[in-house]
Chain A
């Protein structure tokens, strides 16, 4: 059964739910413990970004199947202020919030594919994929 679930991301409790759904999905498609831990951690970082910088949004969790290979794709979307300088936002340690500035760059390192689209005033969409 393919997984395709969209979850609200507005509160700290929503982050906990996102983590749980990502964990269950990762287990279901056969990720080992380290792979599970990496994708769940990346999900946690991006969900927090969605709230702290995007003012809340959604998280979509999808299972993928590509020539015999299983994967998990997570898409975080918000209608917040957007990111004016993507290159800068992806730098380690760069932050406009109170965090450590590892959210985006860390999530990128923890996944196999990373895509970010953002327009000032329109919001941000971050998509990460991890293959088994």
Chain B
């Protein structure tokens, strides 16, 4: 079965979406990712969409869902690498990706996750770090 690989980078998970998403693949990714957050005790998820030529409302909903599921499992999600043409189109489409944090690239996304973990983040009550 077709799957999107999930890489572990310290306490974070990195997903690079490089194929044209269809429904089943999106559902599999949600399941795999939530399982991995629990198994690897991940504190953050980076979703790299730099290969995506479009993000439609289906993809947008999938990304928002992943962010919401991760949050419930005490992990933060950052979407990185959005192409300029995709950003222009998303806004015109009316999709603002509520609840999803973004960064320009993986490095910055990682820095954002680190600082939000170190500083107690936005509402993530993490007493011992």
Contact = CB atoms under 8 A, between A and B. Distances in A.
Interface of A: 12-13, 15-16, 19-20, 23, 33-34, 36-38, 40-41, 44-45, 48, 92, 99-100, 102-103, 105-106, 109-110
Given A23-B53, A34-B85, A99 B93 contact: no
13 contacts: A12-B22, A13-B22, A16-B20, A19-B54, A23-B53, A45-B57, A99-B58, A102-B93, A102-B94, A102-B95, A105-B94, A106-B93, A110-B92
A78 B121 CA distance: 48
Which secondary structure characterizes the binding site on chain B? helix
A45 B88 contact: no
Contact of B89 (A37, A92, A99): A37
Contacts of B24: 12
Given A48-B58, A110-B89, 13 more contacts: A12-B22, A12-B23, A19-B20, A34-B88, A36-B85, A37-B53, A37-B54, A37-B85, A41-B89, A44-B58, A45-B56, A48-B56, A110-B93
Interface residues of B, number: 21
B85 to A, nearest CB: 4
A48 to B, nearest CB: 6
